[in-house]
Amino acid sequence: MAEHDLERRLSLRQATAINMIDMVGIGPFITLPMVIGMMNGPYFLYAWVAGAILSFVDAMVWSELGAAFPKAGGSYNFLKEAYGEKGMGRFMSFLFVWQTMIQAPLVIASAAIGFATYLSYLVPLPGLWFKAASGTVVVLIIILLYRRIETIGRISVLLWGGVLVTLLWIIGGGLAHGRFLEPLKHINDGLKLNYAFIAAIGYSSVKTVYSYLGYYNVCHLGGEIINPAKNIPRSMFLSIAGIAVLYLLMNISVTSVIPWHEIREHDFVLSLFMQRLMGSTAAKVITVLILWVAFASVFSATLGYSRIPYAAAADGAFFKVFARLHPTRKFPYVSLLVLGSVAFVFSLLFKLKEVISAILAMRILIQFISQAIGLLLLRRKRRAADFPYKMPFFPLPAFLAIVMWAALYCATGTRLMLAGIGVAALGTAVYLIQARMRREWPFRPYKPEDKGFRSL
């Protein structure tokens, strides 16, 4: 099916809600004790600020590309356009889809596993029961997403309402406690600006950035956004600003009730927080709301990722079956079902801490760094009028994004760095075999109509 068969029905409000519920998810609740443990001091808030800064800088890159190429698939189209549609762009976009088929189900599975983790606070989930709970979440998400996009937009706004209620209750609880500003008074206690602090910021930022990921989800839905030239950048910056404020306030609220050195020892920090403030009943209610947040995150992430294999297949660069749209509801149902099935399997196989760093390690090289470099190439080849949104102080933010992502990649650790390179290497081998059979780049001679090929 052609790209125009997708319908532009998502408003700015709905697009922002989809971004935000993807960003929040279970991430901030499960990474809060991890970040405090890595920073090992009251200055852990700086790691959350660092994650917000990186997200904001990178969003400038996404905004330029998303506004200029508002199509389903996001990075698939950006890489293809940047590196040459008939040249190296085919290779780069293929690599992106290749790693998406692995890391997207990991993202979905991580949220589902996080859901089961917090559910075990309410109901004991030994062994197979824990895996059954996480797998069931994925199945329910697929059922909810099996419908028209405007209905999904309304569901997203409803889910975001529950996310907002959860965060505001947590923040309000700390305010009512009366010691809300106490963590800020001691934020620099014991702080030394040395290599140890910089290293701690780097390692802990792997976890905070994981909690911010999703600000670009709207780009994967580019073919379904109303007025994309304006709404795609707006939804991203609104999402990051809003979520950064909520994350900082939530961290301050929790540490105003539970000392930071105690938080790092608990898995159910938010449940413990509410239990100390209002008792066991309130702790159970907040746990239910956190489960709502985790469910909303899986919903949003699965929605965005399902458009990537579809976009590649519709373009003739992936298996044709993924290009099928539902005959009446107009959504890529094959892509949705396949990614959901892989995520279901991953939710049964992996543990939460194993997937968080792996998700970043697989994304950074092919998606974030290559995409920023691609924007620099596009700005040289295209007219300024081709970019409805232009980042301030270009090209400084693009270079800064590349440096920051490279540093974060190193912070994931040698094993995961090699795993990310291994996935890319295997994808390269598969592409070269396929390209040889189809006589595509780099196995076909240059032709004048091959736009972007000569310059690369």
Residues 6+ apart with CB under 8 A from 70: 222, 223, 225, 228, 229, 232
Domain boundaries, the chain: 3-438
Band (5; pLDDT cuts 50, 70, 90): low
Band (354; pLDDT cuts 50, 70, 90): low
- 318, 72 contact by CB (below 8 A): no
Residue 213 has pLDDT above 70, yes or no: yes
Band (100; pLDDT cuts 50, 70, 90): confident
Average pLDDT over residues 233-238: 96
Residues 6+ apart with CB under 8 A from 291: 115, 118, 119
Give the residue, 394 or 127, on which the prediction is more confident.
Answer: 394
Average pLDDT over residues 192-197: 88
Q: Which H or E run includes 195?
A: helix 195-212
* Secondary structure of residue 442 in the 3-state scheme: coil
The residues with which 10 forms a beta bridge, in sequence order, are: 225
| Helices 45-68, 195-212: inter-axial angle, 10-degree rounding | 50
Give the residue, 87 or 444, on which the prediction is more confident.
Answer: 87
The residues with which 72 forms a beta bridge, in sequence order, are: 221
- What are the φ and ψ backbone dihedral angles of 92, each rounded to 5 degrees? -65, -40
- 337, 99 contact by CB (below 8 A): no
Residue 1 has pLDDT above 60, yes or no: no
**Residue 165 identity:** V
- 217, 300 contact by CB (below 8 A): yes
Band (201; pLDDT cuts 50, 70, 90): very high
Average pLDDT over residues 129-143: 92
Q: How far is CA 329 from CA 143, 263, 378, in A?
A: 14, 46, 35
Half-sphere exposure of 261 (CA within 13 A, CB side): 1
Can you spell out the DSSP letters for 87-145?
IIHHHHHHHHHHHHHHHHHHHHHHHHHHHHHHHHHHS---THHHHHHHHHHHHHHHHHH
pLDDT of res. 446 = 53
Residue 344 has pLDDT above 50, yes or no: yes
Residue 341 has pLDDT above 90, yes or no: yes
* Secondary structure of residue 41 in the 3-state scheme: coil
Band (449; pLDDT cuts 50, 70, 90): low
* Secondary structure of residue 430 in the 3-state scheme: helix
pLDDT of res. 231 = 96
Q: What is the pTM of this model?
A: 0.85
Q: Which CATH class is domain 3-438?
A: mainly alpha
What pLDDT, in 10s, does the model give residues 289-318? 888 888 887 787 788 888 888 888 888 877
Give the residue, 116 or 178, on which the prediction is more confident.
Answer: 116
Band (191; pLDDT cuts 50, 70, 90): confident
Average pLDDT over residues 99-124: 88
Band (358; pLDDT cuts 50, 70, 90): confident
Give the residue, 163 or 444, on which the prediction is more confident.
Answer: 163
- Mean pLDDT computed over every residue of the chain: 88
Residue 448 has pLDDT above 80, yes or no: no
Residue 454 has pLDDT above 80, yes or no: no
Q: Which of 368, 304, 365 is nearest to 59 (CA)?
A: 368
pLDDT of res. 371 = 95
The residues with which 221 forms a beta bridge, in sequence order, are: 72
- Burial of 181-219, coded b for 16+ CB within 10 Å and e otherwise, reads ebbeeeeeeeeeeeeeeeebbbbbbbbbbbbbbbbbbbb
Band (204; pLDDT cuts 50, 70, 90): very high
Angle at 49 between CA 186 and CA 222, to 5 degrees: 155
Dihedral sign of CA atoms 406, 412, 416, 420 in order: negative
